Amino acid sequence: MTRTPLTRTPLDPGQRALAIGLVLSVTLVAFDTTAVITALPTIADTLHGDSLYGATLAAYMLADLVALVWAGQQADLHGVRRPFLACIAMFVLGLLVAGTATSMQMVLLGRLLQGAGNGGFAPLAYIAVRRAFPADRQAGMYAYLSAGWVIPSLLGPVVSGIVVDQFGWRWVFIGIIPLALTVALLTARAMAHLSPPDAVLDRRPGRLPRAFQAAAGVGLLTIGLQNRSLPLAVAMSAVGVAIAVPALKFMLPEGVLRARQGLPAIVTVRFLATATFLGVDSFVPLAADRLHGARPIVQGSVVAGAAITWTIGQAITARRVDRIRPGPTARLGFGFMLLGIATVAPVLSPHWPLPLTFVAWCLGGFGMGILFNPTTVASMTYATDGREGEISSQIHLADSLGFGLMGAIGGATVAAADHTSFTLQGAIGANFVLAATCAGVGLIASRGVRQRS
């Protein structure tokens, strides 16, 4: 008996152009993320801004948090093109501010503006895939979007290190501007005919104000964690949590804290996964710089292996996206990240060979790679017509919170090492322990990850 090969719906020229534009927008975000994380230790050292290291990471997340909610609402009301162009403009402005900065405060402002631009790209891309592509093509498109990280992940840290070494850290920001303008020209034209849905099923008022409320609360928490006065730090952190939690409960699906089966568990898992990954990936270059005295190009290369294996993990799951179960795959991903953290920890010793750290964190990258795409596909099965913006913003809000809160807490430990007897080894080690804790909780939360039938 001969098996009939499965055929996929062919794409028209407009859909192919849109696919290229969306992947390029993800590539833009990836280059910005990988390059800046690599250059940040040098920037903080040059501008004497260690105390704002974590705040700079968190500022990006706070703006991202508001932008992703705004972009989702605008896409439902006006289509994808208008908010996408606005995000490009804000992102370029942020690159200019950071690239001409004379203080760490200006770098922080630039990252805030970049976050406001970048925050809209990912949810807008997911919305465009949901609306513009046939159902049998959507899972593949999500995989292609993830593939937009391939070249930046492989080359971004190394190129950033070379740029910092040869031309100075400012060109890490300024050099991205031509790519941003190219993406705007290509993608905006492809999006011209992508209209909003005829009927939006959920236009509840209050999502954008709640996003500002959540950002204000998380921002106050970040400032509190950085404060040198313990009583004031505790008070500000508590107020920040009290402001942020009600807003987040409104914006996220009910049952997130309990990782209730379905979309709530998926959102919880994504938060824990991004927090786990950032808790190591953002602080290994700092350890390479301050504990090992490595040059910027080496600092970036140490974590480049994780980017490669992340890509490999995504490629493996993309080939089997219709057959694998997202829950068990997520648990496997957390298991690999835990193993990666355990084998990366010796980098805290100045005598530990950095090439071994490169190999060790490849495990963490692979774990993140096999977790990411299945949870993305599973989350978008809950997006009905008119709610694409809401569901897409929820999954990206979880990612943003994971990165931002870990950046804030991790940055606070680094700042404490800058002005107390707490050592830098202790600070980075504490971040590794927190990352491992998030991974352990993620193993449990993954049991509730289910795709909508």
- The per-residue pLDDT for 383 is 73
Domain 13-189+252-448 classification at class level: mainly alpha
- The per-residue pLDDT for 346 is 94
- The per-residue pLDDT for 4 is 43
pLDDT per residue, tens digit, the chain (453 aa), is 444 445 667 777 777 878 887 888 888 888 888 788 778 888 888 888 877 876 787 778 788 888 988 888 888 777 888 898 899 999 999 999 999 998 999 999 999 999 999 888 888 888 888 777 877 777 677 777 776 776 776 677 778 878 888 888 899 899 889 888 888 887 777 777 666 655 444 455 567 888 889 888 988 887 888 777 888 888 999 999 999 999 998 889 889 989 999 999 999 999 999 999 989 988 998 898 889 988 777 777 788 788 788 878 877 887 776 678 889 999 999 999 999 999 999 999 999 999 999 999 999 999 998 998 889 888 878 876 666 677 888 888 898 888 878 888 888 888 788 777 788 889 999 999 999 999 999 999 999 998 887
Amino acid at 185: L
- The per-residue pLDDT for 269 is 96
Condensed to tens digits (0 to 9), the pLDDT of residues 176-201 reads 898 888 888 877 777 776 666 554 44
Q: What is the pTM of this model?
A: 0.79
- The per-residue pLDDT for 197 is 59
- The per-residue pLDDT for 1 is 44
